[in-house]
Amino acid sequence: SPRLLTEPVAEMDRLNDHSLNGYMENIAGSQFQDKVIDQVTQNSFVFFHAPWCAHCKSLEPVMQEVGRHYLEDPSFMLYRIDGTKNDVLHPGVKIVGYPTLYFFPAHGKFSPLEYDGERTLEAMITFIDAFKQEPQQQQQQEGSEGSVSDDEHKIGGNSVSEIVVDAAGEAEEVGRQQQKLAEQRLQQQLEEGKEQRALEVE
């Protein structure tokens, strides 16, 4: 398979140390997974640009203001990627021109939203605030689109056996069939949340 295009991480460190871009972090293609996708408590707004792009240059000050606006918000990061030097393999990201802006919600990293609204600070803040997810919402987001009840979320437990035993205790009163369904749902919930929980432990 062809090698992915990526700038050296050392070059990103140099850019971030010596630029006036304190409100926006430059990242390389090789850092995308770690900085954006794996951060399950962080919302990310990614600015894909090209050095020769005049529209990108005119958008820079607005992006800086966006970064400054959210500077004190630990659940939000603004990143800049040079799309001409870095490949980003993601099923939801399609770069057909520059600038391109994508918002990755904290718990929806595989369903990013392309921003195609007005390129003003006010419009971007309205968009980000509408879709930004707080870290404590993760429990609700782990289930399949709200189909998992609050009671099941409260069951907790760190292993399959703990969760299933608790579920079985509750389900005993309502019959074997419902117990089976509860266990299946919890097993699915555990599988979906396992990766995120492992990341939180780290």
Asked whether the predicted pLDDT for residue 166 surpasses 80, the reply is: no
pLDDT greater than 90 at residue 194: no
Mean pLDDT of the region 93-97: 95
Closest CA to 15 of 51, 66, 41: 51
Q: Domains in the chain, start-ordered, CATH in brackets?
A: 9-135 (3.40.30.10), 143-201 (no CATH)
> Cβ distance 86 to 33 under 8 Å?
no
* 53 catalytic per annotation: yes
User: Annotated catalytic residue: which of 53, 95, 121, 160?
Assistant: 53
Cα separation of 202 and 193, whole Å? 15
110-143 pLDDT, tens per residue?
Answer: 999 999 999 999 999 999 999 999 876 444 445 4
Q: Hunting for tokens 């770069």 — which residue is that?
A: 95
Q: Cis omega before residue 99 (within 30°)?
A: yes
Number of H helices, E strands in the chain: 8, 5
- Does the pTM of the predicted model rise above 0.95? no
Question: Would you call 48 helix, strand, or coil by DSSP?
Answer: strand
Among the listed residues 56, 101, 106, 182, the single catalytic one is: 56
Based on the residue annotation, tell me whether 56 is a catalytic residue of this protein: yes
> Which band of pLDDT confidence, cut at 50, 70 and 90, is reported for residue 3?
confident
